[in-house]
Amino acid sequence: MTDFTTTRTVAPPAPRPPSPRRTRGVWLLVSGLLTLLLAAAALVAVAPLRQPLPAPTVTRTLPASTVIPGKAPTMPWPTSGQAALAVPGVASLGTSGEQKPVPIGSVAKVMTAYVILTAHPLDRGEPGPSLTVSAAQAAAYPAERARGESLVPVVAGARFTERQALQAVLLPSANNMARILAAWDAGSVEAFVAKMNETAASLGMTGTRYTDPAGLDPGTVSTAVDQVTLARTAMELPAFAEIVAQKTATLPVAGKVKNYNELVGRDGVVGIKTGSTDEAGGCLAFAAVVTVGGRKVTIVGAVLGQPGADTPVQLDRVFRVTRPLVRAAAAAIRVHQVVRAGDQVATVRGPLGAATTLDASTDVAVLGWPGLPVRLDVEVPTVPAQLPAGREHGQVSAVTGEGEPVSATLAAGAALDPPSTWDRIREHR
């Protein structure tokens, strides 16, 4: 009998399913790790966004100065004596001769009139207060006439308004009226002369010394440069400018008188004062008004020490050398563009390579002549992070030696935009 042995294969037991608590723990661990990783990535990405953007920087590209191009004008200066020319509000046109103190004759009466008008101001056409010729002043007239002085006739008790007295001083160059005005203002001629010298010092006229209000005394000396300084200042007084531009005037006692300055009314000349003595020669302080580019421009000058045997010759000489100076100065002055619309004035660099330019929005033009230096000033406020194209921001100004600034606004060429969030993150990767 055969014995059979039966072999039975027993399957391994099935694994136990994980408990719900264990599964939850794994997922919490994985989720926490992912959250930490995402938070870390977010911190890395956001960190650069928390840093403030640097402000845009401005770099000036326009030079600090320029020179009006062309050949500098050559002035027809007198061959003797000394002279000076200036264009108020622009610059000096130069000088000739040694600027040393010399007698100036009746050009001294410019200071006399200036002191009177600063102490007793007049508007245009205003007569002002009256003054009366004293008996002593009238009695001095015959002796003054015998000395050959330039005078107007006066009598005791004659009354002159301030304007009439100034007309007598500035047109027919009356020495006696200069002294009468001096005593009327300061109480004595000596006290008035002290005021003249104080005024000269206050104006910076370092080469000037007055010893009398008429200029007859050769001790009254000045330079052409100083007289230009005074003439410019005096012409700012409306009554002074009005009187010296007159060809004639009607005065008490004297009647109609003429202006000794024969250039008035020619070549734009509007004054100022002649002077002539043996010691001074022919002298003239002058002003002319010309139109340049639709603007009224004043030229002021002085010529001293022109030779001649007597007053008519001396004055003729000074007139002859002054007219070419006035004409040459008028021809030299022009309007010159020193910055043109669209000219780049500065560049602006923003963060991450952003950039634009600041350009002149209009032309900038100055009065002047070839060779005249012009200062160029640029003012740009802090540039914002965003600046649209064409937006005005800042200005450029041009200034001659003593002129007022002429300005134009600046405008952005292209738009300046701040970098995007993605650009900022990518920059710091």
Whether the predicted pLDDT of 376 surpasses 50: yes
Is residue 173 flagged as an active site residue?
yes
Residue 6 confidence class, pLDDT cut points 50, 70, 90: very low
**Element spanning 41, H or E:** helix 20-50
Is residue 361 flagged as an active site residue?
no
34-43, 183-192, 228-237, range with the lowest pLDDT: 34-43
CA neighbor of 106 nearest in space, from 52, 156, 149 = 149
pLDDT in tens, 82-94: 999 999 999 999 9
273 is in an annotated binding site: yes
pLDDT in tens, 67-121: 999 999 999 999 999 999 999 999 999 999 999 999 999 999 999 999 999 999 9
Whether the predicted pLDDT of 23 surpasses 90: no
* Catalytic residue, candidates 106, 150, 222, 276: 106
Rounded Cα–Cα distance for residues 208 and 423 (Å): 72
Q: Which DSSP state fits 263? A: T
Rounded Cα–Cα distance for residues 372 and 336 (Å): 10
User: Tokens 């001396």 belong to which residue?
Assistant: 314
Q: What local confidence, expressed as pLDDT, does residue 238 receive?
A: 97
Q: What is the pTM of this model?
A: 0.83
Is residue 195 flagged as an active site residue?
no
* Catalytic residue, candidates 96, 109, 222, 276: 109
Mean pLDDT of 377-387: 93
Contact call for residues 359 and 413 (beta carbons, < 8 A) = yes
pLDDT in tens, 332-363: 999 999 999 999 999 999 886 789 999 999 99
Write the CA distances from 260 to 53, 177, 315, integer angstroms. Answer: 74, 16, 9
Whether the predicted pLDDT of 5 surpasses 50: no
Q: What local confidence, expressed as pLDDT, does residue 353 receive?
A: 76
Contact call for residues 360 and 393 (beta carbons, < 8 A) = no
Rounded Cα–Cα distance for residues 413 and 407 (Å): 18
Q: Which position has the higher pLDDT, 195 or 404?
A: 195
- 303, burial (CB in 10 Å: exposed 0-12, middle 13-18, buried 19+): buried
**Tokens at residue 108, please?**
């001294």
Q: Which DSSP state fits 336? A: E
Domains of the chain: 57-62+343-427 (no CATH), 82-333 (3.40.710.10)
Rounded Cα–Cα distance for residues 283 and 289 (Å): 20
User: Tokens 């330039």 belong to which residue?
Assistant: 150
Whether the predicted pLDDT of 397 surpasses 80: yes
Whether the predicted pLDDT of 2 surpasses 50: no
* Catalytic residue, candidates 96, 150, 173, 222: 173
pLDDT in tens, 277-315: 999 999 999 999 999 999 999 999 999 999 999 999 999
How many of the other CB atoms lie within 10 Å of CB of 404?
11
pLDDT in tens, 134-166: 999 999 999 999 999 999 999 999 999 999 999
Whether the predicted pLDDT of 49 surpasses 60: no
Q: What local confidence, expressed as pLDDT, does residue 418 receive?
A: 82
Mean pLDDT of 4-13: 51
Rounded Cα–Cα distance for residues 324 and 418 (Å): 62
- Please name every residue paired with 377 in a beta bridge, in sequence order, or none if there are none: 397
Q: What local confidence, expressed as pLDDT, does residue 59 receive?
A: 95
